Amino acid sequence: MRKRSLSDNGVQLYLAAIQPPRQWYRRLICNLFHSDYDDRMFSVLCKSRKSTQALCAEFLNPTLSRKLDAGIHNTIHLILNQQRDFSFFLDVMWAAFQKKDHQTAHMLYIALTDKALDGIRIPKRGPLWFEAIANEYGSPIYEKHIHYWRNVRTDNVLPSVIAFHNFVRRRQFMMRDFEAQEAIDFMEIFQYLEHDPNDVLPVYQNKK
C-alpha cells in the first residue's frame, strides 16, 4: 500500500506546532550569548560616552587640565584596587576605541600602561590593542589625532580630549598659534552639541 502523505495544510499545521514563537527564539539567543558582563560593559560604555561629550564641551574650562590628570590618576588607583577586573578595563578600552569614543579609550590606555601596574598580568590581547591605540594618537605630540580630525564629518566620533589638550599646550608653547587655534576651533563645536555637564564621570574629579 502507498504510504499516506500529509496534505499542504497538514504540513503547515505540523510546522506551526513544532516551531516556538519568535519571541522565544530571541530569549534563547539572548540567554546563550548575553551575560551580566555584557550588561556591565554596555552601561560603562554609555556613561563614558556621555561623559566624553560633556568633557569636550568644557575644553576651554581652566580646570580641564586638573580634570584630565585626575581622570588618569583615579583610574590607575581604581584598577590597582580591583586587579581582578584588569581584563574588564582592557575590554572597555578596546570597545570604546572601536566605537570611536577616543577620550575613554585614550584615558584607559594611559592608565593601563602606567608603570604602577607593571606587576599585574596582562591578557594576551593587551599588547596588540595597546600598540594599535598608541599608533592611533601619536604620543606625545598627538599631531596625528588632530590631522585625523580634519576628515571627521560625524557626531558619532568623539575626540581624545587628552590628545587635543596636550597638542594645544605644546603648540602655544612653540608659538605656533595658528595650529593651536585650529585645534581649539574643532573642540569649540562641542559646546553647541547636545550634552549634560552633570554627565562628566566622578573619576575626573579631584579627591578632597
Would you state the pLDDT for residue 83?
A: 83
Q: How far apart are CA 2 and CA 180, in angstroms?
A: 87
The CATH code that applies to domain 40-204 is 1.10.840.10
Q: What's the rounded Cα separation, in Å, for the pair 155 and 144?
A: 19
- State residue 82's pLDDT score: 86
pLDDT of 208 over the 80 cut = no
Q: Check pLDDT > 70 for residue 87.
A: yes
Q: Specify whether the CB–CB gap between 92 and 104 falls below 8 A.
A: yes
Phi–psi pair at 135, nearest 5 degrees: -70, -30
Collect all residues with Cβ–Cβ distance below 8 Å to 158 and sequence separation of at least 6. Answer: 49, 52, 53, 56, 100, 101, 102, 103
What's the one-letter identity of residue 45? L
pLDDT at 97 over 70: yes
The reply to whether omega before 21 is within 30° of 0 (cis) is no
* pLDDT tens by residue, 9-46: 665 555 555 555 555 555 655 556 667 888 888 999 99
Summarised one tens digit per residue, pLDDT across range 43-56 is 999 999 999 999 99
DSSP per-residue letters across 47-59: HHHHHHHHHHTTT
Going by pLDDT thresholds of 50, 70 and 90, the confidence category of residue 99 is: very high
Q: Which helix (H) or strand (E) holds 166?
A: helix 161-173
Q: Is the pLDDT of residue 128 over 60?
A: yes
Q: What is the pLDDT of residue 197?
A: 92
In the structure grid, which three cell numbers stand for residue 68, read together? 584630565
Query: How much is the average pLDDT of 188-203?
Result: 92
Q: Domain coordinates of the chain in residue numbers?
A: 40-204
The whole-chain average pLDDT of the chain stands at 87
DSSP summary character for residue 197: G
Strands (E), 2-149: none
Closest CA to 107 of 122, 118, 124, 92: 92
Instruction: Answer whether 0.85 is exceeded by the pTM.
Output: no
